[in-house]
Amino acid sequence: HNKLKPFPANFFWGGSTSAYQIEGAWNEDGKGPSVIDMAKYPEGTADFKVASDHYHHYKEDIALLAEMGFKAYRFSIAWTRIYPNGSGEVNQKGIDFYNNLINEIVSHGIEPIVTMYHFDLPYALQQKGGWSNRETIDAFEIYAQTLFENFGDRVNYWLTINEQNMMILHGDAIGTVDPNLENPKKELYQQNHHMLVAQAKAMNLCHQLIPNAKIGPAPNIVSIYPASSKPEDIMAAYNYSAIRNWLYLDMAVFGRYNTTAWNYFEEKGYVPTILDFDMEVLASAKPDFIAFNYYTSQTVAASEGDGSDIGHTGDQHITVGEPGVYKGANNPNLKKNEFGWEIDPVGFRNTLREIYDRYNLPLIITENGLGAFDKLEEGEIVNDPYRIEFLRKHIEQMQLAITDGVEVFGFCPWSAIDLISTHQGCSKRYGFIFVNRDEFDLKDLRRIRKQSFYWYKELIATNGEKI
């Protein structure tokens, strides 16, 4: 392009967190346990009981986000604070906490963007079968109604389920299915179907109860590259895109199962049981926008039809590949971060274009960022030039995508403030704000502005002109 389009006025520059990774206070004020609270943690890493203790530091934290000039803040509500048992009695103290938090956010002129469910399913529901049980759909609908009724006067942007596609694809790691089942994937796709119906019901309810609010899904979407120009590799990329990305968004937007994904269910024996009215509900719900998380692109090759298909792609910690469908591959053109995740800013532009061309809905990025071992130096200094570089490159590509014609209304990188990573503890940091604690030593939990804090502040102040 000869000339870049500027970022739109009122662009939502912000940042993201999730309840269980930041709040702590895991059993305070009537909160019930979630699946996260009951899970085993990898050895040597922190649990989520205290996390960044945001529950007790929220005023200070929101003031820091305001100081950075945040226009929007994306956080999640812990279902178990509102309904300690997933359903039944409402816990007023949970409502109070989020009322206070939202008031604090709004009082600083920041737009709250609320994720309704970010991995932390109430354990009480899990004990009754979790997402395998259709009652969880009803529980989610009632929970959604409670959120809209209590917070809908101040929250205009809602996200249904964070990274449903990752919960399903890596169900053994972050999902809620027993890997010892005879056909765990079939069970996962049944859970997936129930989550999709729950999401559709929540979207409809949102539009009925708070007509001025907007709601959308929040999957992790990334462009899938073929390992070579071999037609078979291209078909593998096509297969994996359908299973990883479009299955979720086609359903959210068009209310139908993606053909390639459905055919894959049939071939593999994963076809879910669908009740009479499900497809009507799914077809009736429409999102107002698409939110998505992007960290790395992924590359796949043609399946070799056996165990050698199982490999890695994009995130080197996550095993992918499925005989007969695709084989996980590395991308030799990309550098990896310290945790083995491929870094691909241009892939971010590709992804934005791909999603927008396909669905024509406004887009917001609800996660993007770099996990690193930041060091607190003497004089309250945390230098994180690598994070600045990572974000700068992605923001540049986002501006190119906007110049390409993609409608983007916000960028909320992961994470607003340091928190506990999903499975690599608190030493893998993502925030603009350092939280002084170690895996097992809580220290004083004090907040320290990183170098990236000042950089992002200036970027926001100039609406992205000063990158």
- The nearest distance, CB 340 to ligand BG6, in angstroms, is 11
Which backbone phi and psi does 128 adopt, to 5 degrees?
-95, 20
Rule CB under 6 A: which of 286-325 touch ligand BG6?
Answer: 293
21 versus 260: smaller Cβ distance to ligand BG6: 21
Residue 463 binds ligand BG6 (CB under 6 A): no
- The nearest distance, CB 49 to ligand BG6, in angstroms, is 17
- The nearest distance, CB 118 to ligand BG6, in angstroms, is 6
Pairwise CA distance, residues 320 & 20, whole Å = 26
53 versus 163: smaller Cβ distance to ligand BG6: 163
151: left (phi over 0), alpha (psi -120 to 50) or beta: alpha
- The nearest distance, CB 116 to ligand BG6, in angstroms, is 14
For residues 203 to 232, the per-residue mask of contacts with ligand BG6, x marking binding by CB under 6 A and - elsewhere, is: -----------------x------------
| Residue 249 DSSP code | H
Q: Which amino acid is at 331?
A: N
Pairwise CA distance, residues 434 & 445, whole Å = 9
Residue 359, token pair as written in the block: 């669905």
Distances (CA, A) of 180 to 183, 185, 194: 8, 11, 21
Residue 367 binds ligand BG6 (CB under 6 A): yes
Rule CB under 6 A: which of 8-37 touch ligand BG6?
Answer: 18, 21
Please, what sign has the CA dihedral across residues 286, 287, 289, 291?
Answer: negative
Residue tagged active-site, from 23, 338, 367, 439: 367
The reply to whether 367 belongs to the active site is yes
Residue 371 binds ligand BG6 (CB under 6 A): yes
Interface with ligand BG6: number of residues (CB under 6 A): 15
Residue 245 binds ligand BG6 (CB under 6 A): no
For residues 403 to 442, the per-residue mask of contacts with ligand BG6, x marking binding by CB under 6 A and - elsewhere, is: -----------x------xxxx---x--------------
Residue 162 binds ligand BG6 (CB under 6 A): yes
Pairwise CA distance, residues 36 & 227, whole Å = 36
Q: Which of 320, 20, 379 is nearest to 173 (CA)?
A: 320
Which backbone phi and psi does 218 adopt, to 5 degrees?
-140, 65
Give me the residues paired with residue 159 across strands.
115, 216
Q: Which amino acid is at 236?
A: A
Residue 163 binds ligand BG6 (CB under 6 A): yes
- The nearest distance, CB 372 to ligand BG6, in angstroms, is 10
How many of the other CB atoms lie within 10 Å of CB of 89? 9
The residues assigned a catalytic role are: 367
The residues of the shown chain that bind ligand BG6, judged by CB under 6 A, are 18, 21, 162-163, 166, 220, 293, 367, 371, 414, 421-424, 428
